[in-house]
Structure 1
Amino acid sequence: MPVTTSAAVGSFHVGVQGWLVGLGTGLVLRFLEHRRQATVEAVRRDERLALARELHDVVAHHVSGIVMHTHAAQIMLRKQPDHLGAALADIERSGTHAMDAMRRVVALLRDAEDGVAVTAGPEQLIDLVRRFEEHGPAVDLRLPTGAPTWPPVVTATVYRVVQESLTNIARHARGARAATVTIAQDRTDITVEIGDDAPPHPPIRSSPRGGYGLVGMRERVEALGGTLDAGPRPGAGWSVRATVPLQAGDHR
């Protein structure tokens, strides 16, 4: 009898341990699914806010130019009516540039489905670049070899930095003939660099190129413990360089 009782107790313990392991596994899976859904929702909110912000910036930037040219046309109408045709042509060009820029921005911000950035891999980045090239300069896209597996929050950040930088090129890089997007990865970090070759132009407004979009990019990258630098390139063009630690996704 004591042997039978001991065996029964042992079986009971094994059964309890198995139940606890199953319960723990289920809780972990539910937690991971909850975290994934929370990440998707956060990216969806970011997408909507980015769309509103970028369209606002595009409209404000180009309408400012149209207003400036219209004011100059009014002065010419009074003082130099013979030159009014040139002023009206400037207004027409500004309006055309505004429409082209808005089309490029809408194309860049139009994702196939909400939360695409969460699962964005090389295919999504290639598609993003193709949409940009439909109305903008050619892009030399350089990706890491193999199939990168990044945490969702890191994946979303890489996608957003590329998207935001191409959007800034679409808005501001008048005269750009080519752009580059380079994504590199080592054992600890992911580096994203985007540049263009646009000749320098006097700014219509005083804010640096990128405006609130650049601020948003920097906040997103620094929140993950990374760094972001942006500024003019030597000679011509603009460059954005972001570095994000791979382990950032473990602390989301």
Structure 2
Amino acid sequence: LLDERARAAAERVRRDERLELARELHDVVAHHVTGMVVQAQAAHLVGRRDPARATESLAGIEAAGGEALRAMRRLVGVLRDTADAPPASAGTEQIAELVERFRRQGPPVRLRLPGETAWPPEVTSTVHRIVREALTNVARHAPHAGQVTVDVSQEPDAVVVEVTDDASGVSGVSAEQRGGYGLIGLRERVEALGGTLRAGPRSGAGWSVRAVVPHGRA
């Protein structure tokens, strides 16, 4: 009975994550389509006076259309996979704000972020969700940690996110409880984008959450 309840809870988490992805898909596509419409209107007006300049708007429309199609392909995959059943604009600034809020209430955090980034919206929102969920688990299960590290780095074809703490084992809290259902939903999201997510105890003491999220802009 307990196993069945755990499976049902995990499936609810996956379903909720797919619904969240569907909402993000709507927002991302609506953003790009709106831009395409505006640029098409501009091309129509400018083309009357200067046909050469209108081609600039056409190039923008083509780029926005390509971005929308890539976002759709990356997000729709998990929505079609029924067998395994933060805002999209969140960026490094929002991650820094998130960490700062955590610092005011929890253990000290060392943060490392990349410089200028140009990730697709579904990638930036996923990175933000990973950091938020990992810090939430620290606050819930390891508030006595002496140091938490949030490391976000950019590789040629992926974003790597690792959140670690140095807390010793908590009495009565198993590894599964420390992971939580939130990580099940995150794994669903990360794998839908073609990435990987691992969470577990570190050698010696503490916990680590590490995700590799392809950004498709090698």
Query: Counterparts of 2:176 and 2:104 in 1: how far apart (Å)?
Result: 28
Deviation, 1:184, is: 1.1
* Maintained 8 Å contact 2:91/2:125: no
- For structure 2, which runs of at least 5 residues remain unmatched after alignment? 1-47, 77-85
* Maintained 8 Å contact 2:175/2:201: no
Query: Counterparts of 2:107 and 2:57 in 1: how far apart (Å)?
Result: 55
- 1:134 partnered with 2:104: yes
Matches within 5 A, 1:8-157: 115=87, 118-144=88-114, 146-157=115-126
Deviations 1:53-100 (A, max 9, x none): xxxxxxxxxxxxxxxxxxxxxxxxxxxxxxxxxxxxxxxxxxxxxxxx
1:218 is matched with which residue: 172, 187, 198? 187
User: In structure 2, what is the equivalent of residue 188 of structure 1?
Assistant: 157
SS at match of 1:119: coil
SS at match of 1:207: helix
User: In structure 1, what is the equivalent of residue 30 of structure 2?
Assistant: none
Deviation, 1:25, is: 6.4
Which amino acid letter does the alignment assign opposite residue 125 of structure 2? A
Matches within 5 A, 1:172-211: 172-204=141-173, 207-211=176-180
Deviation, 1:26, is: 8.7
* Maintained 8 Å contact 2:90/2:128: yes
Query: Counterparts of 1:26 and 1:190 in 2: how far apart (Å)?
Result: 26
SS at match of 2:153: strand
Which amino acid letter does the alignment assign opposite residue 111 of structure 2? L
Deviations 1:176-203 (A, max 9, x none): 1210000111211111000011110233
Q: Which runs of 4+ in 1 moved over 4 A?
A: 20-35
Q: How many residues align?
A: 156
When residues 201 and 120 of structure 1 are mapped into structure 2, their CA distance, relative to the original with a 3 A threshold, is: same
When residues 25 and 215 of structure 1 are mapped into structure 2, their CA distance, relative to the original with a 3 A threshold, is: same
Which amino acid letter does the alignment assign opposite residue 113 of structure 2? L
> Which shows bigger deviation, 237-246 or 203-212?
203-212
SS at match of 1:134: helix
* Maintained 8 Å contact 1:198/1:237: yes
When residues 174 and 148 of structure 1 are mapped into structure 2, their CA distance, relative to the original with a 3 A threshold, is: same
SS at match of 2:109: strand
Deviation, 1:156, is: 0.7
SS at match of 2:188: helix
* Maintained 8 Å contact 1:181/1:193: yes
- For structure 1, which runs of at least 5 residues remain unmatched after alignment? 1-14, 43-113
When residues 162 and 26 of structure 1 are mapped into structure 2, their CA distance, relative to the original with a 3 A threshold, is: closer
SS at match of 2:100: helix
Query: Counterparts of 1:185 and 1:34 in 2: how far apart (Å)?
Result: 22
Report the TM-score, using the length of structure 1 for normalisation. 0.53
Higher relative contact order (CA 8 A, sep 6+): 2
Which amino acid letter does the alignment assign opposite residue 189 of structure 1? A
CA RMSD of the aligned region, Å? 3.4
Report the structure, 1 or 2, having the larger helix content.
Answer: 1
User: In structure 2, what is the equivalent of residue 239 of structure 1?
Assistant: 208
Which amino acid letter does the alignment assign opposite residue 138 of structure 1? P
Residue identity over aligned pairs, in percent, reads: 50
SS at match of 2:176: coil
SS at match of 1:187: coil
